[in-house]
Amino acid sequence: MDIINILPDSVANQIAAGEVVDRPASAVKELLENAMDAGATQIDLIIKDAGRTLIQVIDNGCGMSDSDARLCFERHATSKIHKADDLFAIHTMGFRGEALASIAAIAQVELRTRQHDNELGTTIHIEGSQVISQEPTACPIGTSLAVKNLFFNVPARRNFLKKDSVEFSHIEEVFRRVTLIHQDIGFTLTSNGRQIYDLKAGSMLQRISQLFGNPYKERFFNVEEETDVVRIKGFVGKPEYARKTRGEQYLFVNGRFIKHPALSAAVEKAYTDLLPEHTYPSYFIGLQVDPSRIDINIHPTKTEVKFVDDHALFAILRSAVKKALGQFTLATELAFDTPEEFNIAPAPKGYMPPEPKISYNPSYNPFRATPTQTHLHLEKDLKGFNDIKDFKDLKDPKDLRDLKDFKDLNDATPQSLPTSTCLQVQNKYIVTTLSSGLAIIDQQRAHERILFDRLSHSATQSLSLSQTLLFPVNCQFSAADADLFSELLPELRDYGFAVEPLSQCTFVVTATPADMKEGELQSCFDQMLADYKGATMQKFSNRNQALCASLAHQMAIRPGKVLSQEEMQQLVADLFACPMAETAPSGKKIITIVKPEELLKN
C-alpha cells in the first residue's frame, strides 16, 4: 500500500512560512525589501499590536499590473531570477519569490496596487492562501500591502510570540537594519497610531542621528577604503563611547544587513588596547562586493553569507578601521608647547624660614603586633595563591590564628562577623572564616545580592534611598527604547531614581539610588533595556525582579576593584544580613567553603 503523498499547496505554504516568517518582524523585513525593490522613494510602515493585528507597508514604487498582483502570491514567483546563474548576480533585496506566498498562507492579506500608466489599480483579498476576491479599484500609484491577524490559522505559532514590547523591539531592529543602509529613501514607522520615526532621505550620518539621536553625530569617525576586492564606507565609534553590549554594531554587504562573526571580529581587533575589558565599539559599515564573489542564498533570512575572499576581506576591513582610528586619534590634538617657567617671587629682605619640627610617638613599640600588621602578615602568606583551589594547599593553619570562628554559614549574623581579618585576593574574592572552614566570597556577586534585596525592598516598601545629583544628567534613547523606558518609569522611581521626560527621546535624571555611579547612568539604562527585551526576562517570575536583577548587576562593584578593610567588612556584614546570602540573583554561587581538613592536607 502506498504511503507517500504530495502535500496540498496550503500545507506546503504553511511549512515554508515557518522558514521565512517566524514572527511579525520577519514579515516586516520581507515587505520593506519588496517595497525597496519596487523603486520607492518613500515607504511607510504601520504596526498595530506589535504586528499581531496589522502590518502594513505603503510605498510609492512602480506598482503591479493586474496579473502580476495575482501571480506574486504564488510560490517561487519572482521577476528577478530566470536561470541558476542569476543567483550569483543578485542586485536586489528579494529574489526567491517565497515571501508573499508564505505570508499569505498564515494571514489575511489585502493588496492594493497601481502602475503609473494605469488609471485604476487592483485590490486582492487572500486568507490562508485562498484568493477571496480580486477587483479593480481607485488607489494611489505604488503598492499598499496590509497583513492582518498574523498566524490566525496557526494558533500554535501565535502562542509562541512574546509580549508586545519584545515583538515590537524586533520590528524596530529590522526597521533600523533596513533604513540605515538605504539613506536615499524616506521612511516612517507608526505604532498603534503614534508615529515613532519620520526619516528623511540624506547621508548615513544623518540617518544614524535620526534613529539614535543627535548626540551620535559627534561619536563617530569616518571609515572609507577602496580596493579591487571591496569598497568600504561607513562610520566607527570613538573608543570613549564604547558600550557594554554589541547592540550598535551594523555590518552591511551590497545594501543588505548581514551577520558575519569573522568580519565583526576584524572591526573589534582594530580596537585592540583602545577599549576597557568587556566593552564593545559601535560601528555602521557598508561593504560593496562583486555579487559573483558572494553567496547570499545559504539561509532563508539572507543574513548569513559566504565570501570567496574571506581572509582578504578580514585584513582589509581591519586595516581600514585601524587607519580611521589612527587618523582621528586625540594624540594629534595635543599641544607640545614649552611649559612656562615658574615665576616665584623672592623672599622679603630679612625673612628667615622656620626650622622643621619632628614629631614622634614615644610609646611606639615596633615589636608589638597590631591588627594592621596581622592583616598584612596574613596577606603576605596568601599572596602567592592565584586561584580559589590554591587555598586547599595552605600548609600552616597557624596563619589563620587571628580569624574568628562561626557556628555555621546559616547562623552567621552581622554582629558575629570578623572586624579586622577580611582579606582580598586577586581584587575579586574576600576571604574570611566560619567554623565550617575558610569562606571565599565573590565580591561582585555578593554586592549584586545586596543591591537586589535593597532595590526589591525599596520597591515593595516605598522606602527608596536616593541621592540627589549635583548636576542633572540627560539620557537619550532611540524612539522605541524611549517608549519602553517610559513604561518602566514607575518602577525606576520606586527604586530611587528621579527621572522625567525632557523630550520624546531624552530623559533627565536628578536623583539615583545611593549605590549608583553618576557616570554610568546611560550605559546602565541601555543594558537594562537590552536585558528587559532579551532572554533575561524569562529567568524571573515578574518584571520587578527582572529589573532589580539587571540594575543590581550594573551597579555592583566589578572584579579588579580594590576594597579597603572597612569596605570588605561592610560588604560581608551586608551579605550575611540578606535572606539568601548563598546565591546571587542570577542563581550563581556567592560563597565557597574550604573545610579545615582540606586546609590541613599536605
Instruction: Write the CATH number for 123.
Output: 3.30.565.10
Q: Are residues 308 and 446 in the same domain?
A: no
Mean pLDDT in the chain?
80
Worst-scoring range by mean pLDDT, 292-306, 355-369, 372-386, 425-439?
372-386
Question: Is 306 a residue whose pLDDT tops 90?
Answer: no
Domain-ending residue, one of 202, 237, 252: 202
Q: Are residues 295 and 377 in the same domain?
A: no
Task: For residue 352, tell me if it sits in a domain.
Answer: no
Distances (CA, A) of 494 to 399, 483, 518, 555: 47, 19, 18, 16
Task: For residue 363, tell me if it sits in a domain.
Answer: no
Q: Are residues 511 and 411 in the same domain?
A: yes
Question: Is 342 a residue whose pLDDT tops 80?
Answer: no
Q: Are residues 128 and 167 in the same domain?
A: yes
Task: For residue 46, tell me if it sits in a domain.
Answer: yes
pLDDT in tens, 546-569: 889 999 998 999 888 899 888 998
DSSP 75-140: TT--SS-SSGGGGGS--SS--SS-HHHHHHHSSEEEEEEE-TT-SSEEEEEEETTEEEEEEEE---
**pLDDT, position 446:** 95
Question: Is 407 a residue whose pLDDT tops 80?
Answer: no
Strands (E), 353-417: none
Looking at the 3D structure of the chain, how many domains does it have? 3
Task: For residue 285, tell me if it sits in a domain.
Answer: yes
Q: Are residues 232 and 195 in the same domain?
A: no
* Section 299-304 average pLDDT: 65
Question: Is 42 a residue whose pLDDT tops 70?
Answer: yes
Q: Are residues 187 and 241 in the same domain?
A: no
Which residues constitute the domain of residue 154?
9-202
Given a contact cutoff of 8 angstroms between Cβ atoms, the answer to whether 176 and 183 are in contact is: no
Q: Which three cell numbers stand for residue 129?
A: 492562501
pLDDT category of residue 406 using cuts at 50, 70 and 90:
very low
Sheet containing strand 231-237, edge to edge, reads: 220-226, 231-237, 283-288, 249-253, 256-257
Whole-structure pTM value: 0.68
* Section 411-418 average pLDDT: 44
* Section 464-488 average pLDDT: 84
Q: Are residues 127 and 66 in the same domain?
A: yes
The closest alpha carbon to 399, from 420, 415, 376, 418, belongs to: 376
Q: Are residues 143 and 77 in the same domain?
A: yes
Task: For residue 135, tell me if it sits in a domain.
Answer: yes
Select the more confidently predicted residue: 537 or 56.
56
Task: For residue 67, tell me if it sits in a domain.
Answer: yes
Domain-ending residue, one of 202, 227, 260: 202
pLDDT category of residue 299 using cuts at 50, 70 and 90:
low
Q: Are residues 39 and 182 in the same domain?
A: yes
Question: Is 359 a residue whose pLDDT tops 80?
Answer: no
Q: Which three cell numbers stand for residue 398?
A: 597557624
Worst-scoring range by mean pLDDT, 115-129, 183-197, 272-286?
272-286
Domain-ending residue, one of 138, 173, 202: 202
* Section 190-195 average pLDDT: 92
pLDDT in tens, 224-256: 999 998 999 999 999 988 887 787 899 999 998
Q: Are residues 479 and 558 in the same domain?
A: yes
pLDDT category of residue 382 using cuts at 50, 70 and 90:
very low
pLDDT in tens, 111-143: 999 999 999 999 999 998 899 999 999 999 999
Question: Is 449 a residue whose pLDDT tops 80?
Answer: yes
The CATH number for 262's domain is 3.30.230.10
Task: For residue 83, tell me if it sits in a domain.
Answer: yes
Question: Is 146 a residue whose pLDDT tops 90?
Answer: yes
Q: Are residues 294 and 408 in the same domain?
A: no
β-bridge mates for residue 434, sequence order: 437
Q: Are residues 146 and 46 in the same domain?
A: yes
Question: Is 286 a residue whose pLDDT tops 90?
Answer: yes
**pLDDT, position 433:** 76
Select the more confidently predicted residue: 214 or 130.
130
pLDDT category of residue 531 using cuts at 50, 70 and 90:
confident
Task: For residue 4, tell me if it sits in a domain.
Answer: no
The CATH number for 473's domain is 3.30.1370.100
Question: Is 435 a residue whose pLDDT tops 60?
Answer: yes
53-82 core/surface letters (b: 16 or more CB in 10 A; e: else): ebbbbbbbbbbbebeebbebbebeebebbe
**pLDDT, position 301:** 61
pLDDT in tens, 576-585: 899 999 999 9
